[in-house]
């Protein structure tokens, strides 16, 4: 798959693409990433890419023309038929929040053109003409779309075969369908006692059935406490067993008796 990233700050991506376990995806070509700076497609000695907003107000707005020329250069290099062009994605507060199902869909796709906005945003005419989809990381505002693009690329790269040391590792991530969309359980490592805090006895028992039961209960308890809507979604999907429901009823009974 190939992701073309249109950004005024390509240097922000370079260390990310060469660091950590996900660099395997980029080095191997499983996930190809090409960086494009719209300033290279701007006019004048100063290569201006922004201007003041019509109607007044603070901040600057990214010009449509350099972005359009840059996108046209991307499409020319990709040489894709018009009917199967890669979607153009803008990171924006009005977009749908990125979640695991979205990442999974992108990880199985042919890629996209990612637009990283800056300043007060992009000229709306460019968005109306070229943008196919908008994505948000949540209800907060970043200085630009670069961090959001890096987040998407990282999440997609780690799902590619051979990228993680253990092929099944991502199957145990929070939100994964393999865990019925629940949060992951707590994890522990050596030493067995750290600053007078021990490891749960079950994890030291060597009884794998008991360990898996404990982990399931921890996932249920954590999801109930922190993300109850995920638990309800799993229930509506029919993913909770009778044992799960019995454990959850026990938690409810315990909490109702606490002072």
* pLDDT value of position 173: 74
* pLDDT value of position 257: 67
Q: Which domain holds residue 253?
A: 173-257
* pLDDT value of position 178: 80
Are 100 and 198 part of one and the same domain? Answer: no
Identify the burial level of 149 via C-beta atoms within 10 angstroms of its C-beta, where 0-12 means exposed, 13-18 middle and 19 or more buried.
Answer: buried
Position 228 in a domain: yes
Are 65 and 186 part of one and the same domain? Answer: no
Find out whether the peptide bond into 181 is cis, omega within 30 degrees of 0: no
Q: What is the pLDDT tens value at each position of the chain, 259 positions in all?
A: 999 999 999 999 999 999 999 999 999 999 999 999 999 999 989 999 999 999 998 899 999 999 999 999 999 999 998 889 999 999 999 999 999 999 999 999 999 999 999 999 999 999 999 999 999 999 999 999 999 999 999 999 999 998 986 666 666 677 888 889 999 999 999 999 999 999 999 999 999 999 999 999 999 999 999 999 999 999 999 999 999 999 999 998 888 766 6
Are 146 and 179 part of one and the same domain? Answer: no
- Residue where the block lists tokens 């300033």: 39
Position 136 in a domain: yes
* pLDDT value of position 168: 60
Are 152 and 184 part of one and the same domain? Answer: no
> Residues 94, 134: contact at Cβ < 8 Å?
yes
CATH code of the domain in which 191 resides: 1.10.1270.20
Please identify every residue annotated as catalytic: 93, 120, 158, 173
Tally of domains within the chain: 2
* pLDDT value of position 43: 94
CATH code of the domain in which 111 resides: 3.40.1280.10
* pLDDT value of position 179: 84
The Cα 126–Cα 153 span in angstroms is 24
- Give the predicted TM-score (pTM) of the model: 0.89
Are 177 and 153 part of one and the same domain? Answer: no
């Amino acid at each position: 798959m190939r992701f073309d990233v249109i950004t005024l700050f390509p240097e922000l991506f370079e260390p990310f693409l060469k660091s950590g376990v996900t660099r395997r995806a980029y080095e191997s070509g499983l996930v190809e990433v090409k960086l494009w700076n719209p300033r290279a497609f701007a006019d004048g000695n100063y290569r201006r890419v922004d201007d003041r907003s019509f109607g007044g107000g603070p901040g600057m707005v990214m010009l449509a023309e350099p972005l359009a020329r840059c996108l046209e250069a991307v499409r020319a290099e990709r040489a894709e038929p018009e009917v199967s062009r890669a979607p153009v994605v803008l990171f924006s507060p009005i977009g749908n929040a990125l979640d695991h199902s979205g990442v999974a869909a992108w990880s199985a796709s042919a890629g996209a053109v990612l637009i990283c906005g800056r300043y007060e945003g992009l000229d709306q005419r460019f968005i109306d003409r070229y943008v196919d989809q908008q994505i948000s990381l949540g209800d907060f505002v970043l200085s630009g779309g670069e961090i959001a693009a890096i987040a998407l690329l990282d999440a997609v790269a780690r799902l590619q075969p051979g990228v993680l040391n253990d092929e099944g590792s991502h199957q145990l991530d929070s939100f994964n369908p393999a865990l019925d969309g629940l949060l992951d359980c707590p994890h522990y490592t050596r030493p067995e006692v750290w600053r007078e805090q021990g490891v749960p006895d079950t994890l030291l028992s060597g009884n794998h059935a008991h360990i898996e039961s404990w982990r399931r209960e921890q996932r249920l308890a954590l999801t109930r406490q922190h993300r109850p809507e995920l638990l309800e979604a799993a229930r509506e999907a029919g993913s909770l067993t009778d044992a799960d429901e019995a454990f959850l009823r026990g938690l409810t009974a315990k909490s109702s008796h606490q002072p």
